[in-house]
A and B are shown apart, each in its own frame.
Chain A
């Protein structure tokens, strides 16, 4: 048996991040609590370094390494850049929130960075084992982050639920993977795809595929595997919700692409039907149940479920342009959801979480700019032009309409988006039409205000000029 040193160049960003995360962990041990900001700055620096590393080595060609278990292509690079940016924003938004609640500890950042590493591996996975490795690294980091606020009952409950349900989903995924392995005798996604095309009796592979889809649907938070989403979003500290709600959606999209498109594309007619059901259920449950929520975090959780339904519309067409549309949706959604939860962080202060709908009453009187930013995020999520969310919806709907037999699905989707518009409008109503109950001025650091303003202007700006991002997603998918 000969041993070759694998080509590590495609994985340089991952290796660098791993080293930097360990460095942050060690440095954090020697930092006094009053200098904790060093940990924060180091973590942000680590993200910046891997951002630059990925950007300068950006490649359009597909590079395989580590015995073909790891792939680097244009899609992985674009998604990774999206992950870095999201997590960078999360760390930035979360800083003051954590500090006010005595949670400004190194763990948050170290776990966050390991989570990023997990997402990167998941995005670059080219083997069932790598998928699982990345997924577990991400999930375990997130379970721990949710549980970080040890003395909070709701956070512990959320962490427990998340962990138990997450473990079940991982088990499902593994079970499905074992079936696929049993049929094809391979863990390599390209090989699986190649071998499946020749398999005549698809019964067992479909059986395995169903379990894999269950695992993916759980991680995405698609109905009917969405139960954890509202509880975890609500129970976790807002800083952690920010994290869970944004970047992992991008990674989960990558997982969907790697498993179903790279691995099981030959089963597309079968998984299309399943995804249609998941998409409709997600849009229905997400949009309808969100109406009944009195807590903004829960409402945004249900809104996340409905957005996942929309996201799947692009993938289920089985067309490359459809995958690109979904990718555009995932990146746009991450940006919008960061803004939405960022607003909760902005308005919260010590002892006041600002997560009830009533806390938003009369925001326009207290701070017109904050109200306007929230207006941008809400209308964007509702899919009203000229904001980014409209183009995300348009691009997936376009793909569904282009598949002649699925025209009805587009109609179902827009009907749910009308229902969804109602609860976003209610936030606007509270902010603009009601009188303020809370009259305390908004106390937030200038960096949070500037970052959130940039975030909202980006949602507006990309809504006016979405061409660049769309073209990027197209080139990332269509080689």
Chain B
């Protein structure tokens, strides 16, 4: 019934217009009005995005829910939207997480609440735009515009060192993206079009492919972030307000990985293949080395930030082992499994890291500290909260039954088909990840009550229970029954793998 609606335009523009409306109707003396309006916009957007899943046609890699009108005739730029099995789940993740963020910011944000809510809503629209854009110029506009609200969010509502963190965040990502812009302009010059799907078909030589691959790599690696350009992330995460950290970890990091799937792999398959050693090494360094870095963190947010980098290493590993698997086994199935594993890991990590940041936020709101040493024995005063946090921590370590397990398992399994040592190194994360996560849990949640602050803690209220419960349901749902997620991806990923394995030379 919804098929005739321009659903993608709605999920992009409704939150943006809603955000402007929140700003326009802002009234410092009536914060409730702002909250309710923001909540309505967020929920309405989420509801509108559901048909993307329910009316999604399985078994075809064709772009669905397409909208295409000419935008800038002089440059042949179109307002072309569409989703396939790769981008659709990410849009749903965005609309879902925005609802969570609005709930999470409900009473906590007291300063300029309308601007806070509006920034998140506008950012939701822009992120949906990135996932839905089928025109490279449109993609770039959304991709860059997204920096503006995030810059403001970290800078205005962040912690003590927020200015440094937010400028670093902006300049790092801006640095990455301008090279992508040059690459896109080059492709436009060669093909006369900004259509991403035209680029997928475009054949060109290895040298040009390599340069374009590197330009894309700079943009996407900064966003993922991959070692060694990851250093902005811990700073940004630590300083960002809880909601900002959630969106950063749950969605913004996925944009980089999505970029690899939409741009690097299908547009420059030969360069990707010839440089896959580099990507695999960077991914494994992220998995292992950053895991060790996470182990020594004293700040919970920093710990989760490093854990995010390490988990995103899995995602990129899953994407770039495809050729080795194909070379070893000669069939597509292993490669498809690796990429799907990476995709599942993206979605699952969205829920888990978001939930963990929210847990830290819950504690921070009470004691105004993120330091592990300021806590201890929280389970004694906040038993319900402790239950949630332990669940999410277990999911973060990849416990079977949680969504964290599915993605990691698929990636490790497929990397066995590529090379034993890849799998071996990747699998060490099961130990390191468990070590840093559980050690943090031991020090924060369990044991005796260590100080007076913890002794006075109140357990979570209904609002906090609601968002943690929603996320817990998601984590368990996709852990026990990942099939709905996998079946929507199947056709698109298979199509991607055929693209990747066909040489363009």
Residues of A within 8 A of B (CB): 364, 368, 375, 379, 384-386, 390-391, 394-395, 397-398, 401-402, 407, 410-411, 414-415, 417-418, 421-422, 425-426, 428-429, 432-433, 465-467, 470-471, 474
Contact = CB atoms under 8 A, between A and B. Distances in A.
Interface in B45-82: 71-75
Given A390-B144, A467-B71, A429 B182 contact: no
Nearest to B179: A414
A368 B119 CA distance: 14
15 contacts: A364-B112, A391-B72, A394-B185, A397-B185, A401-B186, A401-B188, A411-B179, A414-B178, A417-B178, A432-B152, A432-B155, A433-B155, A433-B156, A467-B73, A470-B74
Interface string B338-349: 000000000000
A3 B112 CA distance: 74
A391 B141 CA distance: 10
Contacts of B181: 394, 397, 414
Contacts of B137: 394
Nearest to A328: B74
Contacts of A421: 170-171, 174
Given A398-B188, A398-B189, A401-B185, A466 B145 contact: no
Contacts of A428: 151-152, 155
A379 B148 contact: yes
Nearest to A470: B74
Given A414-B178, A432-B152, A384 B145 contact: yes
Given A395-B75, A401-B189, A471-B73, 16 more contacts: A379-B148, A384-B144, A386-B145, A397-B181, A401-B186, A407-B182, A410-B185, A414-B181, A415-B178, A418-B171, A426-B167, A429-B166, A429-B167, A433-B155, A467-B72, A470-B72
B162 interface: yes
A183 to B, nearest CB: 37
Contacts of B202: none
Contacts of B140: 385
B208 to A, nearest CB: 10
A429 B142 CA distance: 22
**Closest 7 A-B residue pairs measured CB to CB?**
A414-B178, A385-B141, A467-B72, A470-B74, A401-B185, A433-B155, A402-B189
A412 to B, nearest CB: 11
Given A433-B156, A467-B72, A384 B148 contact: yes
Contact of A410 (B144, B170, B175, B182): B182
A432 B148 contact: no
Contacts of A364: 112, 115, 156
A461 to B, nearest CB: 13
A398 to B, nearest CB: 5
Given A433-B156, A470-B75, A425 B167 contact: yes
Contacts of B71: 465, 467
B144 A432 contact: no
Contacts of B152: 428, 432
A367 to B, nearest CB: 13
B17 interface: no
B109 interface: no
A398 B185 contact: yes
B163 interface: yes
Contacts of B142: 385
A375 B23 CA distance: 15
Contacts of B148: 375, 379, 384
A421 B174 CA distance: 9
B257 interface: no
Contacts of A375: 148
Interface string B493-504: 000000000000
A426 B164 CA distance: 11
B68 to A, nearest CB: 15
Contacts of A432: 152, 155-156
Nearest to B72: A467
A384 B74 contact: no
B182 A397 contact: yes
B93 to A, nearest CB: 24
Nearest to B74: A470
A418 B73 contact: no
Nearest to A419: B171
A31 B174 CA distance: 55
A398 B23 CA distance: 36
A386 B171 CA distance: 17
A479 to B, nearest CB: 16
Given A386-B145, A433-B155, A422 B167 contact: yes
Interface in B176-198: 178-179, 181-182, 185-186, 188-189
Contacts of A407: 182, 186
B441 interface: no
Contacts of B112: 364
Contact of A398 (B75, B163, B171): B75
B182 A414 contact: yes
B147 interface: yes
